[in-house]
Amino acid sequence: MTLETQLLSLQERLQDAVKVCYTAPLDENQGYAFATGYSKSAMQGVVEDLERIMQQLSDSQEVDF
């Protein structure tokens, strides 16, 4: 997966989480608790993926002597 594709995927996950934050409180079957849990999970996943991407970038820039 290219870096651009990975970043677009992260962007979509965050956009979905924002959408849930707006819509879930209006849905009696979801509410604020659902929005909080969904968003927390999305943010944790994005942080983990960004850490992995940053490590890959760091590894690719190291020079072996």
CA 17 to chain centre: 9
Type of residue numbered 5: T
pLDDT at 13: 97
pLDDT at 60: 87
Joined together, the tokens standing for residue 2 give: 């290219």
10-residue stretch averages of pLDDT, the chain, 65 residues long: 94 97 95 97 98 93 70
Domain range annotation of the chain: 3-56
pLDDT at 5: 96
For residue 27, report the phi and psi dihedrals to the nearest 5 degrees. -100, 120
pLDDT at 1: 86
Q: Please return the burial class of 35, using the count of CB atoms within 10 Å of its CB with bins 0-12, 13-18 and 19+.
A: buried
Report the predicted TM-score, pTM, of the whole model to 2 decimal places: 0.84
